Structure 1
Amino acid sequence: MLAVAEVNYIRYEVNQKGESYASVSRKTGIDARTVKKYANQEDFEVKKPQCRKAPVMDPVKPILDEWLNEDSKKKRKYRRTAKRLFQQLVEDHDFKGSERSVRQYVSKRKKELKTMVDQAALPLESIPGTAQVDFGTAPFVYQSESMELPYLVMSFPFSNTFYFQVFPSENAECLLEGLQRMFHHMGGVPRTIRFDNFRPAVKKILGKGERKLTDVFERFVGHYGFHYEFCNPGKGNEKGHVEAMVKYVRNNFLLPECHIEDLDQFNETLWQKAEDDRDRSHYKKDAPIDTLYQEDCAQWLLLPEKSFDCVRYEVVKADKYGFITVDKKQYSSSPRFAGDKLTVAITYNSVIVLNEQHEAVVHHSRLYGVRRKSMVWQPYLDLLSRRPRAIKYTSIYDHFPEEWTRYLKACTEDEQKEALRLLGTLLKNDDFTLLNQALNDVSAQGHPSVDQIKHRFYSLVNNQEDYSTYTPQMSLPDMPDITRGLEHYDALYAKEGVEHE
Structure 2
Amino acid sequence: MQLFEDIRRDARCEGLSIRALADRHGVHRRTVRAALESPIPPPRKRPVRIAAKLERFKTLIDDMLVTDLTAPRKQKHTTKRIWTRLIDEHGCAASYSSVRDYVARRRPEIVAESGKGTETAFVLQDHLPGAEAEVDFGDVWIDLAGVRTKCFLFTLRLSHSGKAVHRVFASQGQEAFIEGHVIAFATIGGVPTGKIRYDNLRSAVRRVLFGRNRSESDRWILFRSHYDHVPVSSFGL
Band the TM-score falls in, shorter-chain normalisation:
0.3 to 0.5
Structure number with greater CO (CA < 8 Å, separation at least 6) is 2
Larger radius of gyration: 1
Hey, which of these two has a bigger chunk of helix by percent? 2
TM-score (norm 1): 0.18
